Each structure stands twice: as C-alpha cells, then as structure tokens.
Structure 1
Amino acid sequence: MSNAETVRKRWKIRRRLSDLKVKLCDATLILAVGGLILAMLDVEFTATRILESFVNTSDLSFILRTAAIITTIALLFFLLFYHFIDIKIQLVETGTSNWRVGITSERVLNTLLEVAICAICPIPETGVVAWPILSNIAERTRERVNIPISVLLTLPMFLRFFIVCRYMVLHSSQHQDTATRTIASLNHIAVDFRFVLKSEMYERPLFVLSIASLMFWCVVSWMLTQCERYAYPSISGFQHFADYLWFEIITFFSIGYGDVQVNTYCGRGLAMLTAIVGTLFSSTLIALISRKLILTTCEKRVNHIIAENNITNEHKNAAACVLQNTWRTVLRARDYQKSSSRRNQQRLAKMQRMLLCSVITFRKTRWKLRMQMEDEDDFFTARRAFNETEDRLQKVRQRQSQLDGKISMLFENVEALTQAVMSRKCYLRQ
C-alpha cells in the first residue's frame, strides 16, 4: 500500500472515530443532565410533598432515584467508551498500534476522576443525616435538623457540568474546522476548553459572561435552598429560592445588604464561593470594558493627525497674527512720528501690546507643536522609520541594478575591445 493510500485510510478512520466521539459526548451530556434533573425532582418532591395527594411520595422517590441510577450507569458506560475512542484516535494520529502510547498516567487519573464524579447519585432508602444549623447567630447556639442523604448526594452532581465544557469544545468552530486545528497544531496550541473559552471571550465577552453568571446564580441559589430550607420548614421552597437568588446577586457583586442570611456551614461555604467567583467576574468585566475603551491603532493615528493639523493651523494663524500686528505697529509708529499726540501714543502702545501678545501666542503654539511631535506614539515613529528605510533600500536596489547594468555593459565593451585588439594583432602578424 502506498503512502497516499495509507494517509487516506487513516484520515477516513479518524473522521469516523471523530464523528463517533462527538455523538458519545452528546449522549453523555444528555444522560448527565437527565440524571441531574431526576435527582432535583426527587429532592423537590420529597421536600415539598406537592404530589402527595396524587401519588405516594416514597414510591415516586423510589422511581426517580432508580431512574437516576439507570442513567448514571449508562453515563459511566458511555464515558468509558468515549475515552476508549479518544485513545484510538490518538493511536491513528501517531500511526502506532501500541496501547501504551495512548494510556498515560494523566489520562488514567482524569478518567478515574470523571468516573468518580459521574458515579455520584441518590440511592433509594438512604435515610437522613443530622445537619448542624445556627439557630441564633448572635448567641452562637447550634441545633441539628434531619436532612435526607439524597439531598447531600444531589449537590455534588452539579460537577457533571464538566461535560458541558467538553461539549463546547467539540462543537466549537475552532475544533470543527480542520484548517484551524492544523494551524493551532503547527503553533503548538491545543484546541481545548481554555483556548475555546478565550476565543469566545475575545469575540463575544458580554454574552459569555452573562450566560455564565446566570447559570452560576441559578445553580448556587438552588444549592443554597437545599442547604437552608430544612432550618425553616414553614417557608415555601419557591420563597427560599427567590430569597437566595437575591442573596446570590448581591453577594456576587460584593454589596451584601444583610437582609438575607445563611445559617448553615454549607450555606456559608457557598457564600464564600460566590464572593470569590463574583470578584473574578467583576475583574474580568472591568478588564473587558477597559479593552473596549482603548483606541485602536487606526483610531490613534486618526486622532493624532487631527490634533497635529489643528496645532499646525493654530501655529500658522499665530504667525500670521505676528506679521499683521508687526505691520500695524510700524504704521502706528509712523503716525506717532508725524504727530506726537496723546491719541497716537495710545494707539501705538495698544498695537505694541497686541504685538507682544501675538508673539507670546506664537511661542506657545510652537511649543505645543513641538510637544505634539515628541508625544507621537512609538509605533508610528517605528512605522515611519521603517517606511523611510524601505524607501532608501528601494533606491539602493535601483541604483544597484543600474550599476549592475553599467558593469555588464562595461564588460561587454571590454570584451569587444579585446576581440578587436586580438583581431588587429592577427592582422598585423599577417
């Protein structure tokens, strides 16, 4: 088999495996989100018991948890199959059949960590656990309330959102475009989540920050509701969610009115996480706004040209005023020499003052023009120097080409003269 056929065969295999990899990622995302939704429904139905008049809450909880376990098992299978396909793609790219090339310690650790995260789900008949709360924050008195273990198992299920990051990478334009992947590979850049996130932040920063903030607020508000709702069973779950959504927003932006408080250590941990993430988001937003407000190179150049033209015109007008006032002063001096009246003396003094003011204005504008030339951006100076150097090199090349032509012509003349001398010498010998 020739090299071209081998490359074509590998490309077809890689294309087929890549399509299968994308489909497996979609399946894992659907199963992960589906299992999370089932667990959330189980937690809400168990806490509120809104369907108790229609169906037994324990039976409904058993069905939902069983469905969550089934989706989790399917998720683990598809997740392992995804990594298996990823290893096969790496083997096809490297052109080897040794599995040790694809199975590294880092890949094994990442796979085990993903399996451990995705394996967490509520189990039927798990019972309750005593949850410490601060019933009176001022007196530091502690109480304990019974919370279903399914709630504690549901909270870490939000870590499954790492599959969303993988979905974003595989469905991004940077990953789907072969030319982009090739250019990135030649520049030793991995088309991973960090690269895709940076690209999206560069192209649509406000959209990305808005979506990420809304998702973070909703998720953490629901988690805070589960941490705090059993401390106040008389308050409805929706009111809890609305209060802690408000708490999330004001904590996220480092405001903190203090009207809503958390009474559990879980809630305090989530509040600290919100404060840290909010600080990072605020810093990123300020950096993005600052970058948008910075003038581009072309805009700087336009403003520089406009300012330079205005100062140049002002300098010319000041010079014209100096000449005009000088001529008027000379005329007033002649009038004063003809008639030394008080009126002519006052007119002469007035014109002399105007001449002095125009000279001062001229000096100021000349200084401003000089400062404008000195404050010119280094980029423009380097660009101008580069253009001047390029022009000089072009002239040198032209002169060099002319010199080469003259030298070649001189060699031709010398050769013709040599031939003429040789022919003349032969003629004289004869």
Structure 2
Amino acid sequence: MAAVRAGAVGLSKQARFTMYSSTRPGSDWDSRDSGTGERARQSRPSVYGKRYGVAMSNAETVRKRWKIRRRLSDLKVKLCDATLILAVGGLILAMLDVEFTATRILESFVNTSDLSFILRTAAIITTIALLFFLLFYHFIDIKIQLVETGTSNWRVGITSERVLNTLLEVAICAICPIPETGVVAWPILSNIAERTRERVNIPISVLLTLPMFLRFFIVCRYMVLHSSQHQDTATRTIASLNHIAVDFRFVLKSEMYERPLFVLSIASLMFWCVVSWMLTQCERYAYPSISGFQHFADYLWFEIITFFSIGYGDVQVNTYCGRGLAMLTAIVGTLFSSTLIALISRKLILTTCEKRVNHIIAENNITNEHKNAAACVLQNTWRTVLRARDYQKSSSRRNQQRLAKMQRMLLCSVITFRKTRWKLRMQMEDEDDFFTARRAFNETEDRLQKVRQRQSQLDGKISMLFENVEALTQAVMSRKCYLRQ
C-alpha cells in the first residue's frame, strides 16, 4: 500500500501485484458498486485470504488511482502556496495599518485615516480568500486519503482530530483588524508609584494584529511539501514502510542533522525580528511624552540580550504584553542556546579515524619514551657498578661522591621508567572498541600464523619419519628374505 501511495510500483499491462483497499466487502462504506443484493455481490472482485480488503488485480485501475492522486497532490501544493501568499500578504497589510495608526495617534496626523480603512478592508478580503483556500486545501487532503484507502465514503477521511485541527486553523487565520474599532485601556507597570496608576489607550486593531503572526504555521506546511524528503518518492516509500510520517517534525530533524547552524541562524533571526516588532507595538503607547515611542532597534537590542540571558537593563518593558514576550524570549533563547552548545560540541568531537591517528601517534611517543627510560636504567646501573668498583678499590671522598651521584641518577631513571610504563598501560586502556578489536584480530592472526608454521614443520617431520619407517621396513623385509634363502 505504501508503494502504491508513493507511485513506486511499475504499472505494466499485466498485474504484477494485488492491492487491497481498507474497506470490507459487504459493508455500507463500500459504494463502488452501483447495484445491491446478489447482483452487487457477484459484480465484486474476488476476495482472498481472511476476507480483509478487496483485491484489485487490474493494473488500469491502479494506474488511474495513481494519476488521480498525483493530480490532487500537485493541486495540494499549489493551494499551500496560495494560502502562504495570502497569509503573508494579509499580515503585511495589517502591519502597515498598525504603523499608520500609531503615526496618526501619536503624532496627530489625520490624513492617514482613509488609508488605514483601505488597508483594513484589503486585509479582510485577503483573510476571506485565505479561509476559502484553507478549507479547499483540507478538502483536497481528504480526497487524497480516500484515493489512498480505495474508498469513496467521506466518513473515512473526516475524523474528530482532523475536524479539530481544521477549526483551529480557521480560527487562527480568521483574526484580522476590523475597520472602525475602538480602543482599550492598557495599564502601565513601573517602579514609580505615580505611573502605576496611569493607563494608556491602545487601538484594538493593534491587539488583533499581534495574533496574526500565528499564521506562520503555514510556513511549516510549506517547508514539508517543498522538502526533498516529501518530493522524493523513494524517501516517502521507505518512511511509510518503516511507519514514519514525513511531517514537519521529521523534516526539521533532518534539516537540523544536515545543516544545523543554518537552520538555527534563520530561525533566530526571524524570531528576533517578529518579537521585536510585537514588543514595539506593546510598548510604544506607554511613552506618549518621550518623542512618541521607542524605536524598533531598541527592542531588537533588548531581544538579543534577553535571548542570550545577558540583560543589561538599559531597555525595560512596562506592560503585561511586553513582559510576556520577554519571558517567551528567555525560554526560547535557553532552548536555542542549549541546542547550539550541543551542536558545537558534536562538531568538536573527533571522528573515529582522527581518534585512531592521535592514539597511534601518542602510543608511539610513549613507547619510545619507555624504551629510552629502560635504556637509561641500564646505563645508570652499569655506571653505578663501575663507581662501586672504584670506591671499593679506593674509598676516597671523591669516589664516594661519584657513587652517590650515580645512585641518585639510577633512582631517578627507575622512577621515570615506572612512570612511562604506567602511561603506556593507561594509553592501552584508552583504546576505542574498533582499535582494540583490530589489535586483537592482528594478534590472533599472528598466533594462527605461528600455529600454521609449526603445523607445517610438524607435517614435514612426520613425512620424513614416515619415509624412514618405510625404508626401515623395506630393509627388514629384504633381510628376512635373505635369511630364508
């Protein structure tokens, strides 16, 4: 079934396989036969095995289903592209409206009211089109599932989970600024007691624009449908056979494994820009007397230092919305920082071949040092013996000092020899599994070579002994014949 879904089967004139649908013959869901009763049962294809599914041995039917699924899949990708364009377009219109609204309220520009009405109307139109394409996308997705399962009953494709996900997506995409909306009182949080009682009026259109960034879930869907894992037939077939869904989680983990720094950098930049703009909208109305509002660059700086848990305190937030976004930034920054540290640590770890090279070089150096230490012990021992003979011949003070000096040098060389032997032992214990197995294999091969050599020598000796016994037997037999004669 997975190979048929992915289109990886060969469709020749003769049927080389038997595909079973997920419906059972005789049930109400099987509506492929127009007749009912005995005639309908006779017109059904033959059923094999334990009567699970309907055998489809006709290659033309399989080819037809594959073409239908391919056409629906292409339409699904186009609908995803259209929903992404409409979602981003509506978000850009809402952002422009928010900027013009702030300019009109804070700087007393009245000429932007008509432009704001036009922008909101355009955002509503794009939202309606987005909802239509979104519902049509889910409708096509259900039809693809029906084609894959080999049934035409819509109850198979519509489940409670799918309905909840669709309603949630529609609710998220339906949020947009509405013309002629009022304002809401926004409390100010400050260390000054007089300012904590103040309230500022914020347009409702600004508050409705902030949740519109949740439309970025369509970007995740776009990444999945345009990823190499989803477009490659072999990858989808192998994933389906291994019970792995090619979804956003699988695609993201694959990209993180292949290009971790690139994915983290793009995600961090997008997060900084989006949250900085949202912080600007949350905090700009809390400073009506300070030249209108603080700039976007100030909150971008605040986002970066909060993201990496630095927090200089030069930029502060004075609203509940700003503090909520600051907490979100701290949580996401902690996750990203830990992931970045883990990725850097993985990049810094030596590979098996690199470890083997360093291990061989270190072992050779320690082995040479151990040999030099052993040679120094022998040299100092011989010199100590010579100085002891000189001291026995002439027990002068000079010979005594030479003997003591050689004894000290001998003691130092023995200590050095023991240290190098301990280092060599520790180096042998630090071998990796592959290198240890390789060394054991080589040692076993050398021992087997010696055993084979001894075996060949033994075979030669046995052959010589057999020849001598044969010669002796012939000599004895000839001697017996001579004695008889």
TM-score category (smaller protein): 0.7 to 0.9
1:284/1:407 CA distance change after superposition, 3 Å: farther
Does the 8 A contact of 2:280 with 2:294 survive in 1?
no
Does the 8 A contact of 2:106 with 2:292 survive in 1?
no
1:370/1:425 CA distance change after superposition, 3 Å: closer
Distance, in Å, in 2 between the alignment partners of 1:413 and 1:89 is 89
1:318/1:90 CA distance change after superposition, 3 Å: same
Report the alpha carbon displacement of residue 240 of structure 1 after superposing the two structures with TM.
2.8
Distance, in Å, in 1 between the alignment partners of 2:327 and 2:472 is 96
Q: Point out the structure with the larger helix share.
A: 1
Superposed CA deviations along residues 357-411 of structure 1, whole A, max 9, x for unmatched, are: 2222112211221122223334544566688899999999999999999999999
- 1:247 matched to 2:302? The reply is yes
SS at 1:50 equivalent: helix
Distance, in Å, in 1 between the alignment partners of 2:389 and 2:468 is 75
1:358/1:389 CA distance change after superposition, 3 Å: closer
Does the 8 A contact of 1:252 with 1:278 survive in 2?
yes
1:88/1:333 CA distance change after superposition, 3 Å: same
- 1:137 matched to 2:209? The reply is no
SS at 2:186 equivalent: strand
Distance, in Å, in 1 between the alignment partners of 2:474 and 2:59 is 59
- 1:220 matched to 2:261? The reply is no
Matched with 1:392 is 447
Does the 8 A contact of 1:322 with 1:355 survive in 2?
yes
1:205/1:399 CA distance change after superposition, 3 Å: farther
1:270/1:334 CA distance change after superposition, 3 Å: same
Q: Which deviates more from structure 2 when the two are superposed, residues 290-299 or residues 149-158?
A: 290-299
Q: Which deviates more from structure 2 when the two are superposed, residues 93-102 or residues 409-418?
A: 409-418
1:218/1:334 CA distance change after superposition, 3 Å: same
- The correspondence of residues 63-212 of structure 1 with structure 2, limited to 5 A, is 63-134=118-189, 137-138=192-193, 141-212=196-267
Does the 8 A contact of 1:51 with 1:57 survive in 2?
no
Q: Which deviates more from structure 2 when the two are superposed, residues 8-17 or residues 271-280?
A: 8-17
SS at 2:190 equivalent: strand
Does the 8 A contact of 1:135 with 1:143 survive in 2?
no
Report the alpha carbon displacement of residue 64 of structure 1 after superposing the two structures with TM.
0.7
Q: Which deviates more from structure 2 when the two are superposed, residues 250-259 or residues 418-427?
A: 418-427
Report the alpha carbon displacement of residue 38 of structure 1 after superposing the two structures with TM.
0.4
Does the 8 A contact of 2:172 with 2:214 survive in 1?
yes
Distance, in Å, in 2 between the alignment partners of 1:114 and 1:91 is 22
Q: Which deviates more from structure 2 when the two are superposed, residues 378-387 or residues 266-275?
A: 378-387
Q: Which deviates more from structure 2 when the two are superposed, residues 57-66 or residues 2-11?
A: 2-11
Report the alpha carbon displacement of residue 232 of structure 1 after superposing the two structures with TM.
1.8
Q: Which deviates more from structure 2 when the two are superposed, residues 9-18 or residues 212-221?
A: 9-18
Q: Which one of the candidate residues 338, 345, 350 is aligned to 1:283?
A: 338
1:318/1:397 CA distance change after superposition, 3 Å: closer
Superposed CA deviations along residues 401-427 of structure 1, whole A, max 9, x for unmatched, are: 999999999999999999999999999
Does the 8 A contact of 1:46 with 1:57 survive in 2?
yes
Distance, in Å, in 1 between the alignment partners of 2:77 and 2:61 is 24
Q: Which deviates more from structure 2 when the two are superposed, residues 52-61 or residues 82-91?
A: 52-61
- The correspondence of residues 288-327 of structure 1 with structure 2, limited to 5 A, is 288-327=343-382
Superposed CA deviations along residues 241-298 of structure 1, whole A, max 9, x for unmatched, are: 2222222122222222222222221112111111211121122122222222222222
Does the 8 A contact of 1:133 with 1:144 survive in 2?
yes
Does the 8 A contact of 1:229 with 1:235 survive in 2?
no
Distance, in Å, in 2 between the alignment partners of 1:417 and 1:9 is 91
Task: State the percentage of identical aligned residues.
Answer: 100
Does the 8 A contact of 1:128 with 1:148 survive in 2?
yes
1:238/1:21 CA distance change after superposition, 3 Å: farther
Distance, in Å, in 1 between the alignment partners of 2:473 and 2:173 is 93
1:361/1:237 CA distance change after superposition, 3 Å: same
Q: Which deviates more from structure 2 when the two are superposed, residues 32-41 or residues 194-203?
A: 194-203
Structure 1 unaligned regions, length at least 5:
none
Does the 8 A contact of 2:185 with 2:201 survive in 1?
yes
Structure 2 unaligned regions, length at least 5:
1-55
TM-score by length of 2: 0.75
Superposed CA deviations along residues 334-376 of structure 1, whole A, max 9, x for unmatched, are: 4445555443443333333322222221122112211222233
Cα root mean square deviation, aligned: 6.8
Q: Which deviates more from structure 2 when the two are superposed, residues 407-416 or residues 212-221?
A: 407-416
Q: Which deviates more from structure 2 when the two are superposed, residues 73-82 or residues 125-134?
A: 125-134
1:306/1:240 CA distance change after superposition, 3 Å: same
1:389/1:42 CA distance change after superposition, 3 Å: farther
1:124/1:320 CA distance change after superposition, 3 Å: same
Superposed CA deviations along residues 137-194 of structure 1, whole A, max 9, x for unmatched, are: 4456322222221111111000000011111111112222222222222222221111
Instruction: Give the length in aligned residue pairs.
Output: 430
Superposed CA deviations along residues 118-150 of structure 1, whole A, max 9, x for unmatched, are: 011111112222222236644563222222211
Superposed CA deviations along residues 21-72 of structure 1, whole A, max 9, x for unmatched, are: 1111111110000000001111111211399999942221111111111111
TM-score by length of 1: 0.84
Superposed CA deviations along residues 292-346 of structure 1, whole A, max 9, x for unmatched, are: 2222222222222222221111111111222222333334444445555443443
1:62/1:319 CA distance change after superposition, 3 Å: same
1:53/1:406 CA distance change after superposition, 3 Å: farther
Does the 8 A contact of 1:29 with 1:163 survive in 2?
yes
Report the alpha carbon displacement of residue 202 of structure 1 after superposing the two structures with TM.
1.8
Report the alpha carbon displacement of residue 75 of structure 1 after superposing the two structures with TM.
0.6
Report the alpha carbon displacement of residue 238 of structure 1 after superposing the two structures with TM.
7.5
Distance, in Å, in 1 between the alignment partners of 2:327 and 2:120 is 31
1:408/1:347 CA distance change after superposition, 3 Å: closer
Does the 8 A contact of 2:284 with 2:293 survive in 1?
no
Matched with 1:346 is 401
Does the 8 A contact of 1:145 with 1:231 survive in 2?
yes
SS at 1:188 equivalent: coil
SS at 1:131 equivalent: strand
Distance, in Å, in 2 between the alignment partners of 1:428 and 1:95 is 103
SS at 1:147 equivalent: strand
SS at 2:188 equivalent: strand
Does the 8 A contact of 1:131 with 1:145 survive in 2?
yes
SS at 1:130 equivalent: strand
Does the 8 A contact of 2:187 with 2:196 survive in 1?
no
